Chain A
Amino acid sequence: RKEVEQDPGPFNVPEGATVAFNCTYSNSASQSFFWYRQDCRKEPKLLMSVYSSGNEDGRFTAQLNRASQYISLLIRDSKLSDSATYLCVVNTNAGKSTFGDGTTLTVKP
C-alpha cells in the first residue's frame, strides 16, 4: 500500500462545476499537509497548505481529518485554468515529504 493515495481520475467537469479530490495517508505520525498543483510538463507548485481546522482560499477549500487520515480539496466554480494535476503531499516530523501520484482535472467549456 502506498503511503499517500489519491484517486488518479481523470476528472472531466464543465466550467462552473464543483469538484472534490480525496487523499488518504498511512503514516499516523504525519505532521503537515499540502496540496500542490502541477501543470503539464511543469514543476509542482504549492496550491495551499491544509490545516487541522480546515482552510479556504477563494474557490479552494482544504480539509484534514486526522482520525481518518484523510485530506480533501474542494474546488468551486471551476475555471478552464484549473485544469492540471493536483498532488497531495504529506510531511513527517523528520522532514520527509511524500507525494501522492496526483489527480488529473480537466475543465471543459
Chain B
Amino acid sequence: DAGVIQSPRHEVTEMGQEVTLRCKPISGHDYLFWYRQTMMRGLELLIYFNNNVPIDDSGMPEDRFSAKMPNASFSTLKIQPSEPRDSAVYFCASSFGGGLSYNEQFFGPGTRLTVL
C-alpha cells in the first residue's frame, strides 16, 4: 500500500487566496483525520470523519476553514481566504477504527503551507 497520500507537499500562496489541500487515505480505513502543526501550538486535531461523515469539527479554527470527504478515498481541506497565521504543516491521517480501540493512525507526509 502507498500509505496516506497528500498533495501538494508544499504550497506558497498570498494572503486572501483560496488554498485546497488533498488527502487520499489508506484503502479500507474508515477514519480520516486532519491535523495542523505549528511550533507555537503543536499538533492540533482540526476535524475527523468516520465513514465519510464529519464527526467532530470543533478544532476547525474558524469559518474560513472547511473540509469535505465526498467518498472513502478522498478528502479536502479548504482555506478561503487564507491568512499568514494559517502557515503550518497540515497532516492527514487515517485509521481502521477510531478512539475506542488501539488502532494506529497512519499519517501522510504533510503539506507545508506558507501564506505570505
Contact = CB atoms under 8 A, between A and B. Distances in A.
A binds B: yes
A95 B54 CA distance: 12
Contacts of B35: 99
A102 B45 CA distance: 15
A95 B43 contact: no
A32 B102 contact: yes
Give the most central of B33, B35, B44, B107: most A CB within 10 Å.
B107
Interface residues of A, number: 23
B100 interface: yes
B42 A97 contact: no
Interface of A: 31-32, 34, 42-46, 49, 51, 87, 91-102
Contacts, number: 60
20 contacts: A31-B99, A32-B100, A32-B101, A46-B105, A51-B102, A87-B43, A92-B99, A94-B99, A95-B55, A95-B56, A95-B98, A95-B99, A95-B100, A96-B48, A97-B33, A97-B99, A99-B35, A99-B42, A99-B45, A101-B43
A32 B101 CA distance: 7
Indicate the member of B35, B43, B101 with the most A CB atoms within 10 Å.
B43
